[in-house]
Each structure stands twice: as C-alpha cells, then as structure tokens.
Amino acid sequence: MLPRPAAAVTTAGPSGAVTAAAHTARVTLLAPGTDDLLAALRGTPALRPAVDRGQAGGLRALLEDGLFERLGGAGSPVRITTATIAGAAPVASSTALIRGALVAQLVRLRLAGVAVADAFDDASCALAASGRDEHLVALICDLDADEHARLGAEVMAHDAVLRRRLGAIPARWTPRCGLRQVISLAGGRVELRGFVDAALGAPGSPRASVCLLEVTTSSLEPRHDDVLSYLALLETLRTGEAPLRAAALSTGDDRFVVRDATPELLFGAAMSLLDLIERRERPS
Amino acid sequence: MSARRLLAPSAAQLVEVLVSSAEDAAPLSSRLRQLLIARLTDTSARAGGPRRRLDAFSVERDDAGFTTPFAWGTRAARRAIGTAAARGVAQGRHADALRAASEEVERLCDRAERGLSRPGSLGAWLRGEPAPVRSLCALEAATWAGGLLALVTPATQGALGVGVADAWFEVPGTKLTLHGRRDAIAAAGERRSILRLRDGLPGDASLAGLAIEGLVESLAAPTRALPARVVGAWPDAGVCLVMDFDEDVARTAARGLVSAAVRRCVVPEDDRLVVAA
C-alpha cells in the first residue's frame, strides 16, 4: 500500500453519474476537496514546490540497487506497464474497447479546444484520422443502427463529464496528449512503460508545474491511485523533474482523484514497484 | 561507433553538450564522397523503378516495417507541423506551441486551397479533413514540439536553431534521395552539432541511425566542416546519446547506407530475409 499524503484530494460527486450507483466502486475520501478538477490539479501557482533535479537520480539509483538485490545480474526480460500496476483487467468487450478509444479521442479534442458538436461522430472521425486502431474503426463501421445508437448515447454521456470537468483549457497551459514513458533499468533487462492521456503545464520552470491526467471510462478504484503514483514516478525518471500532481478522472462515474507528487509518494511508488517485480519474478 | 549516454539531462546540460567546441575538422573527404555516390549510383542503376528515399530508418530497421503504404494521420503529421510550431515559439512569434501549431495547420490548408500543395502532401491531406481532425493534428504537433522545446528552454534557445529544415541530398543522375533529419542545430566552435528527437527507447541500431544523420548533413553541405557531434534525444525514455562525428564515423555510415540501398533497390522482396539472416 502506498503512503497517502494528506494533500491528496478526491471528490465523489454523485451528480451526473453515468454508471448506475450500484456499479460504482467506493473511493476513499482523503481530504475535503474541491469539485473543480482543474483547480485541484493546478492549485495555486505561488504555492508550487521548487523542482529538485537530484530527486530523479536518487530514485533511479534506488531502483537500480533494488533490482540488483532482488533479481541479480542476468535473467529473462521484465516488462511492467500501467496495466500491470492496475492489476490484471478482464478482457474487455469490443464495445468497451471502442468506447474507450472514442473517449480517449474526446479527451484530445477537449485539450485541442474543439467545440465538440456530435461526440460520437467527432470522436470516430478523430479515431479514423489517428492512423492507429484501424480494427476499431472497422468495428465502428460494422455497427448496426441499434448498436450505433446505444454506443452513441454512451459516448455522449462520457463526453458530458469531460465537458464539465475539463471545460475550456487555455493554450497557455501547454496541453499535451498521449505522452509515452519508457524507462529502461538493470541494463535493459527491466522495462517500465506508461502512457499519460494528458499533461498540462510546461516543464523546465524552477517550480513544479507539470500535471498528469489519466482518464478512464471505468469506475474509479483504489488501483488508480497506484497507477497515478507509477506514472508520476516514470515522469520523474523520464524528465528529471517530478510533476506537480497527477489525477485520474472517471468519465463512468464522474469522480476524480488528485495526488500530489511528493517525494514520499515517489519513494513509495518505487518501493511498490520493486516489490511487484520481486513477486512476479520470484513467486515463492 | 560509440556514444556518451545522458540520463534526463536538463536543457542547460544538453545545450552545453551541443555547443561545446570541438577540434577543427575538414569537410567530408572528396574521396569518400565520390566513392559513396558511385556505389549508390551503381545500385540505383541496377534497380530502376520509382524514386526511392533512404534515411536513418532504412539503415536501423533493415527496411522492415515499411510494408504498408504511407498514409497521413494525426501522428504522422506531428513532426512536420511540430517543427514549424517549435520554430515559432523559439523565435518568440508565438507564446505557446498549440497556437503556433494551429497557425501552421491553417497555413498549410491555405496553401492547399490556393493550389500550391502537391497531391498527397500534408497540406492536401489536411485540407480534406474536418475541423476536429485539424485541431487534433495541431495538438499532436504541439505535444511533439513541447518535447523538443523542453530540451532547449527559452534561456538557451539563442545558441540553437530550433525547428530547422531537414538535410536532403539527391544522388546525381539517380532516383535516390538521402534524407537526414535534424530538429535543432547548434554552432560548436567552427563546426555544428545536430539534435534529433526519436520515439521510444534507443536500440542496438540507434548509433548507426545517428551516424546517417551526420553523413547526410555532410553530403548536403559539401563545403562545411563535418558536424562535431550528433545528439539523439529519446524524450519518451529521458535518454540522450551523444556521438562525436568524424571521418571514420562517416565511413561506417556510408557502408551502412550502401547496404541499405542494396536491400532497398536490388534485392527482391522474397530474398530480403535471406540477406538479413
């Protein structure tokens, strides 16, 4: 279990829930929070902590030493992804895959400042132009009228949450989408991979200002906390500076969780990662 | 070939590496240049067919991964638009990369509208896409430009040319084009350094790819001294490889380029696996 800093914030707003209440997992309320995701994520600029560029080196050394102690020198490759951290997810149906891909495109459209007129059509169009997920585009084309209408209604509901939570993001917040993280450790034997849906704030300033946002169509669960810590750790290793905060937004139940990327959180993420790798590689 | 490895360097550290002076060097030797052109001309003459392009990917990937025809998409368009966006921000014409990228998308569409774009070009593709897709292209490009600008913060950009045009070299009398990608250049004393952004993690063949960028740069500017160093940056991994470039590296790169040309131009599709083995 990772340490939970007091500054972490979650909200649990029942209004506008897309998923039925019975389907929504409980989320621990860590501190009284705000209902404004972007305000919670970005906070007050003057109160942001200074960037400690030595932190990334310390975390990398901690991981390298820990991996050598646990795994030794040689062995089979180890690959950790966000899905590994989140736990083995059941195989999603094709409808769920399409919905997830379309919502991911809607997040991008919101970041790009597009006034989405028809959520399903605009997202489908964006997905087709992405040059990826061609099999999903083909599945969308094969939907019959009833499936199309039902999926369209679902996507519209998820988009309503995005519209309310993300609103209009100014270009000066330097929105970015689809950030890939690939960290190689133990001489290339261990590979850590992550994918951040959206990032706000420019790196390179004296104060931490980069905010990571993970969007999920499933209900928010405690495992999303672990994913946020993991992504913040990879971002620190990747860029050399810790992000300010990381947040997960569920478009399924309209809840979000925001975590401060404190040194304690990053240290906890590194230790959890080492334990996870040890459990996977040495099950006994 | 060897390189220094930098982990998550700050912008100041990276720029220091790029601009630090190197020993004086001559341009690419005319002997190596003529020999390379002769070999490529010979290879191209045996092949015939359409115009072919060789670049670092051709050498690194052994020509694998290009089985499907190229098609524009939001991801494929990001570097072309992002380069212009990064340049706009670095030159102070735009406050942020997203606005700069949006303006570049509009400019490309406008050129296509006025019939100034070639069929199949990025502008022609953008013109046919709806507004949301164009906006997504701008966002992807801004994300790409952000990766470049994070490596060369405004305080250090004066020493660099950010978002510069790539290096191109047409092999005379052939249908072969050599393409060297470069995302920023810096003056390193009398010589230049090249910065190149890449996706993912550096692999075994990455150094060969960096050497190709330096070689094509040398071919494109025959009177200029050899590049001092070629720096590959992998922002996804937070890794930079710094390769000092000299005539020996250029010679090794030339061999790799000729091998790639042979595979691309001469060897039939079915025999490529045999050659690779």
pLDDT tens across B22-68, in order? Answer: 788 888 999 999 999 999 998 887 766 778 889 998 888 865 555 67
Domain boundary among A166, A195, A226: A166
How many Cβ pairs closer than 8 A exist between chain A and B? 115
Residue A268 maps to a domain: yes
Pairing state of beta strands A176-185 and B176-180? unpaired
Question: Looking at beta carbons, which residues of chain B come within 8 Å of A178?
Answer: 140, 143
Q: Mean per-residue pLDDT for A219-238?
A: 95
Residue B185 maps to a domain: yes
Q: Is A165 on the interface with B (CB under 8 A)?
A: no
Q: Is the dihedral of CA B222, B224, B230, B235 positive or negative?
A: negative
Domain boundary among B152, B171, B189: B152
Question: Looking at beta carbons, which residues of chain A come within 8 Å of B140?
Answer: 177-178
Is residue A190 within 8 Å of residue A80, measured between CB atoms?
A: yes
Residue B51 maps to a domain: yes
- Looking at the fold, whether A154 and A269 belong to one and the same domain comes out as no
Pairing state of beta strands A190-200 and A78-80? parallel
Domain boundary among B132, B152, B172: B152
Pick A112's closest partner by Cβ from B135, B199, B234. Answer: B135
Residue B15 maps to a domain: yes
User: A33: pLDDT confidence band, cut at 50, 70 and 90?
Assistant: low
Residue A61 maps to a domain: yes
- Looking at the fold, whether A199 and A153 belong to one and the same domain comes out as no
- Looking at the fold, whether B166 and B248 belong to one and the same domain comes out as yes
- Looking at the fold, whether B262 and B193 belong to one and the same domain comes out as yes
- Looking at the fold, whether A58 and A75 belong to one and the same domain comes out as yes
- Looking at the fold, whether B167 and B33 belong to one and the same domain comes out as yes
Give chain B as a DSSP string.
---EEEES--HHHHHHHHHS-----PSSPHHHHHHHHHHHHHHHHHH-SS-EEEEHHHHHTTTTT--SPP---TTTTHHHHHHHHHHHHHTTS-SSHHHHHHHHHHHHHHHHHTT-SPTTSHHHHHHTS-HHHHHHHHHHHHHHHHHHHHHS-GGGGGGEEESPPPEEEEPTTSSEEEEE--SEEEEETTEEEEEEE-SS---TTHHHHHHHHHHHHHHHSTTSPPPSEEEEEETTTTEEEEEE--HHHHHHHHHHHHHHHHHHHTS-GGGHHHHH-
User: Could you give the count of Cα atoms lying within 13 Å of B6 in the half-sphere of its Cβ?
Assistant: 23
- Looking at the fold, whether B24 and B47 belong to one and the same domain comes out as yes
User: How near does any CA of chain A get to the CA of B132, in Å?
Assistant: 6
- Looking at the fold, whether B227 and B244 belong to one and the same domain comes out as yes
Residue B277 maps to a domain: no
- Looking at the fold, whether B104 and B204 belong to one and the same domain comes out as no
- Looking at the fold, whether A276 and A178 belong to one and the same domain comes out as yes
**Is the model more confident about A184 or about A95?**
A184
Domain boundary among B104, B123, B152: B152
Question: Looking at beta carbons, which residues of chain A come within 8 Å of B237?
Answer: 181-184, 238
Domain boundary among A103, A133, A166: A166
pLDDT digits (tens, 9 = 90+) for A159-202: 999 999 998 899 999 999 999 999 999 999 999 999 999 999 98
Residue A46 maps to a domain: yes
- Looking at the fold, whether A83 and A98 belong to one and the same domain comes out as no
pLDDT digits (tens, 9 = 90+) for A195-206: 999 999 988 888
Task: Report the alpha-carbon distance of residue B171 to residue A5 in Å, rounded.
Answer: 62
Q: Which residue segment(s) compose the domain that A145 sits in?
A: 94-166
Name the average pLDDT for chain A. 87
| pTM (two decimals) | 0.88
- Looking at the fold, whether A24 and A151 belong to one and the same domain comes out as no
Interface contact flag, A176 B75, Cβ < 8 Å: no
CA B53, chain centre distance (Å): 13
Pick A126's closest partner by Cβ from B97, B132, B143. Answer: B132
- Looking at the fold, whether A225 and A273 belong to one and the same domain comes out as yes
Residue A266 maps to a domain: yes
User: A5: pLDDT confidence band, cut at 50, 70 and 90?
Assistant: very low
Looking at residue A32, its pLDDT comes to: 43
Tokens 């059509």 — which residue? A121
**Is the model more confident about B2 or about B131?**
B131
- Looking at the fold, whether A148 and A35 belong to one and the same domain comes out as no
- Looking at the fold, whether B168 and B136 belong to one and the same domain comes out as no
CA A147, chain centre distance (Å): 28
Task: Report the alpha-carbon distance of residue A177 to residue A196 in Å, rounded.
Answer: 7
Q: Is A58 on the interface with B (CB under 8 A)?
A: no
Is residue B203 within 8 Å of residue B232, measured between CB atoms?
A: no
- Looking at the fold, whether A32 and A129 belong to one and the same domain comes out as no
* CB contact set of B151 (below 8 Å; sequence gap of 6+): B11, B14, B184, B195, B197, B233, B235
Q: Which residue segment(s) compose the domain that B103 sits in?
A: 78-152
**Is the model more confident about A22 or about B114?**
B114
Residue A2 maps to a domain: no
Percent of chain A at pLDDT > 70 equals 86
Q: Is A70 on the interface with B (CB under 8 A)?
A: no
**Is the model more confident about B5 or about A283?**
B5
Total count of domains within chain A = 2
- Give the Cβ contact number of residue A153 at 10 Å: 11
- Looking at the fold, whether A120 and A190 belong to one and the same domain comes out as no
Interface contact flag, A53 B140, Cβ < 8 Å: no
**Chain B interface disruption, residue of A114, A196, A213, A235, most B CBs within 10 A:** A114
Nearest Cα residue in chain B from A240 = B8
- Looking at the fold, whether B177 and B254 belong to one and the same domain comes out as yes
CA distances from B140 to B76, B97, B186, B199 (A): 9, 10, 26, 14
Domain boundary among A140, A166, A192: A166
**Is the model more confident about B197 or about A131?**
B197
- Looking at the fold, whether A202 and A271 belong to one and the same domain comes out as yes
- Looking at the fold, whether A238 and A143 belong to one and the same domain comes out as no
Nearest 5°: phi and psi at B22? -125, 165
Out of A124-128, A169-173, B138-142, B149-153, pick the least confident. B149-153
Total count of domains within chain B = 2
Tokens 């989405």 — which residue? A116
- Give the Cβ contact number of residue A178 at 10 Å: 21
User: B264: pLDDT confidence band, cut at 50, 70 and 90?
Assistant: confident
Classify residue B184 as left (phi > 0), alpha (psi -120 to 50) or beta.
beta
A66-103 burial, b at 16+ Cβ within 10 Å, e below that, comes to bbeeebeeeeeebebebebbbeeeeeeeeeeebbbbbb
Q: Mean per-residue pLDDT for B163-181?
A: 92
Nearest 5°: phi and psi at B115? 75, 20
- Looking at the fold, whether B89 and B145 belong to one and the same domain comes out as yes
List A185's β-bridge partners, or say none.
Answer: A190
